[in-house]
Structure 1
Amino acid sequence: MPNTILTPNVIANEALMVLKNNLVMANLVHRDYEKEFVKVGDTVTARRPSKFAAKNFTGAVDPQELNEGGVPVKMDRLRDVTVQITSKEMSLDLRDFSAQVIEPAMTAIANAVDADVLATAVEGACRTVTASGEDAAKPIKDIAKVGSLLDFAGVPVQNRRLVLNPSHKVLYATDDNMSKVSYAGDGTALREAELGKVYTMDTYMSQNAPYPFGYLDNAVGTAKSFKVSGTAGASTVALSSVTAASATVKKGDCFIVDGYVYHFAADATASTGAIASVVIDQPLHAALTNKDATVISAPTSVGFHRNGVALVTRPMDLPMGNKNAYVASADGLGVRVVFDYDSTHKIDTVSFDILYGVTTLDKNMIVKVQG
């Protein structure tokens, strides 16, 4: 039987399936998708789920309007993986091409999407629970506290989730009171990440939960808070209002701004509460002036309701003049695949990309665990 011809259509649909199977956090939040084509940087309106009040009937009903309001979301996250390919790869059947090219590419994109959604949730959390130490008698009480805070906030019990950093997973999963569920079947990342339902929350583990890289080696800086300034696209930032005034940041220390996770790429020490310049691990997403940062000084997990955070996706236009491109969409996700030829370097490429935005819908529905 002849091999399936590897057209952009075939590859895009396979890529979409692989992406869906590798997402964890993105499958746990509110999703908004429409088939309107947008460009990077456009602002779209995402639907906010309605809320109603149960009123006492006193002889006549008081009709309530649908309050499914709109939330502006900037479509500023374009995740791309572009791969050089040869006639050798293009001669593979779909299964082998998927294993060699599509799966690694879409796994990288899935990790990036999950990390962005987690970062937005952590940054938007209204309350913080301090994680127990490794020698605590009943560390599981931390999870109970998260559930309790959601209870007091009036958050519905259905569709509550808890996503644990691997460090917290070890801490809580070894507690005798922690229920663990073993799954087998479709092999998706969501199934493999699931630990079971604990204190009203469906519980998962994600390696994309933010943490300082030096935490396991006790090599974390002493800065507890600071403000960030920098130029869009720059690889360095300035820090002000550093607490304490002579605090340090270490290579690998982590902070979040506007839902973007950054790690310092070098050590630095504050002088009178300021650091003039320190290198970060990726270009700054936007121009910032004394922007409050969410400092991640220890492993961080997050408990939330599905309607507390939204992942908003939209398809992008196909490149003008390029017929070797296709957009596949389903279940609130869209993936674009483009074949191209780089005449300067004489190479063929295939690119996979996805455009999306992330926002908090209700901070009262989010609680983080840190420590």
Structure 2
Amino acid sequence: ADRDCLSLYKQIWNWVGSPGNTLNSFADLALGPQRLDEMAVPQDERNVVMGPADSWGMIGSLTGLTLSDQSGSPQAEAYRMARLGRVANLETYMDQNVQRHTVGAHAGTPLTDGAQTTTYANMLTSYQMSLVTDGWDASIALKEGDVFTIDTVFAVNPVSKDTLDFLQQFVIRADVTTNATTTADTTLTISPPIITTGPYQTVSVGVPDGATITYKGTLSTAYPQNMVFHKNAFALVTVPLEMPDSVGWKARQTDQEAGLSVRLVKDYDIDNDVEIIRADILYGVEAIYPELASRISGTA
């Protein structure tokens, strides 16, 4: 289940830090909550999930500080128990199933083809739109989860709609192969949609014709997808499974508060003279508010 949850990074367009660098300082980690602040994400229930290398990089950065004599201090916990605890208003977790994203082969000189915007009413159910582009090398594979920016198209404060000092990031929501002719159009499915007015405005201006597209990360290179997020960014939903009648032992544990349900059954294998225990969970995952999350890498 955690692997499927962590695979939701493909729906997250914010990505701070420099791909290929390990998180190994407070300043690196702080880029995550900074982006959440810039996106007006609530201060409570913030979390970060890191892969082993990034988690140990952060643990090492804290053990370099003066150890406190007080048991349970972040420095002491990092040094003695390899636990980060709560840092930068984030509950920290390590998960070896943090996914690695291989960036698509984004060769060429990609540009937008035509002025393009949409409205919230048009994107209400999918929160995606089509972006017409050209200038790519012929027949190259762009990947779901690739992140890019468009020249002159800046992010906005989601509350005040003031223009921020960094370009809005977009994520490709479906694999696509560029046109076999470099001058022909290639249409990308992207999030967030390019909305320039109203309460759901996402960008400072509409996409102009001929604007340069700049990718995040080196082509065909894999990077770990650590994520910082508010708890409402993602949903994990489980359904209590039916209990079979013909087994020797069975149990189902449901946690109403957490929304989790797991079924256990035990039976005897007469052919191999062993008892078999089976655990099952029926679940689904979704990024319901991807704007409440960001991917995070270290810095050079």
Query: TM-score, normalised to structure 1's length?
Result: 0.41
Structure having the higher helix fraction is: 1
